[in-house]
Amino acid sequence: MANYYRRKKDAVFHNAKPINSGNAQAYLYGVRKYSIGLAERLDADYQPPPSDRKKSSDSTGSNNPEFTPSVFYRNIAPVNWFLRIIGVLPIVRRGPARAKFEMSSASFVYSVVFFMLLACYVGYVANNRIHIVRSLSGPFEEAVIAYLFLVNILPIMVIPILWWEARKIAKLFNDWDDFEVLYYQISGHSLPLRLRQKALYIAIVLPILSVLSVVITHITMSDLNINQVVPYCILDNLTAMLGAWWFLICEAMSTTAHLLAERFQKALKHIGPAAMVADYRVLWLRLSKLTRDTGNAMCYTFVFMSLYLFFIITLSIYGLMSQLSEGFGIKDIGLTITALWNIGLLFYICDEAHYASVNVRTNFQKKLLMVELNWMNSDAQTEINMFLRATEMNPSTINCGGFFDVNRSLFKGLLTTMVTYLVVLLQFQISIPTDKGDSDGGTNITVVDMLMDSLGNDMTILSASSSTTTHSTATSSTTPPPASAKHGRGHRG
The Cβ of residue 459 has, within 10 Å, a number of other Cβ atoms equal to: 10
The three-state DSSP-derived secondary structure of the chain is CHHHHHHHHHHHHCCCCCCCHHHHHHCCCCCCCCCHHHHHHHHCCCCCCHHHHHHHHHHHCCCCCCCCCCHHHHHCHHHHHHHHHCCCCCCEECCCCCEECCCCCHHHHHHHHHHHHHHHHHHHHHHHHHHHHHCCCCCHHHHHHHHHHHHCCHHHHHHHHHHHCHHHHHHHHHHHHHHHHHHHHHHCCCCCCCCHHHHHHHHHHHHHHHHHHHHHHHHHHCCCCHHHHHHHHHHHHHHHHHHHHHHHHHHHHHHHHHHHHHHHHHHHCCCCCHHHHHHHHHHHHHHHHHHHHHHHHCHHHHHHHHHHHHHHHHHHHHHHHHHHHHCCCCHHHHHHHHHHHHHHHHHHHHHHHHHHHHHHHHHHHHHHHCCCCCCCCHHHHHHHHHHHHHHHHCCCCCECCCCCECCHHHHHHHHHHHHHHHHHHHHHHHHCCCCHHHCCCCCCCCHHHHHHHHHHHHHHHHHHHHHHHHHHHHHHHHCCCCHHHHHHHHHHC
Q: Which residues contact 431 (CB under 8 A, 6 or more apart)?
A: 454
Q: Given this model, what pLDDT does residue 387 score?
A: 82
Q: Given this model, what pLDDT does residue 303 score?
A: 92
Instruction: Fill in the amino acid letter for 322.
Output: S
Q: 29 with 57: CB under 8 angstroms?
A: yes
Q: Which residues contact 356 (CB under 8 A, 6 or more apart)?
A: 250, 251, 253, 254, 257, 291, 398
Instruction: Fill in the amino acid letter for 336.
Output: T
Q: 349 with 251: CB under 8 angstroms?
A: no
Q: 214 with 222: CB under 8 angstroms?
A: no
pTM: 0.74
Torsion on CA atoms 91, 70, 234, 297, rounded to nearest 10: -60
- Determine the Cα–Cα distance for residues 70 and 24; give it in Å rounded to an integer: 12
Per-residue pLDDT in tens (0 to 9) along the chain, 493 residues:
333 333 333 333 334 444 443 444 443 333 333 333 333 344 444 344 343 333 333 333 334 567 888 999 999 999 999 999 998 989 999 888 889 999 999 999 999 999 999 999 999 888 888 887 777 666 666 777 778 888 889 999 999 999 999 999 999 999 999 999 999 888 888 888 889 999 999 999 999 999 999 888 888 877 667 778 889 999 999 999 999 999 999 999 999 999 888 888 777 766 556 777 888 888 899 999 999 999 999 999 999 999 999 999 988 888 888 777 666 777 778 888 888 999 999 999 999 999 999 888 888 888 787 777 677 777 777 878 888 888 888 888 888 888 888 989 999 999 899 888 888 877 776 666 655 444 444 444 444 454 455 545 555 544 554 454 444 444 444 444 444 444 444 333 3
Q: Given this model, what pLDDT does residue 211 score?
A: 92
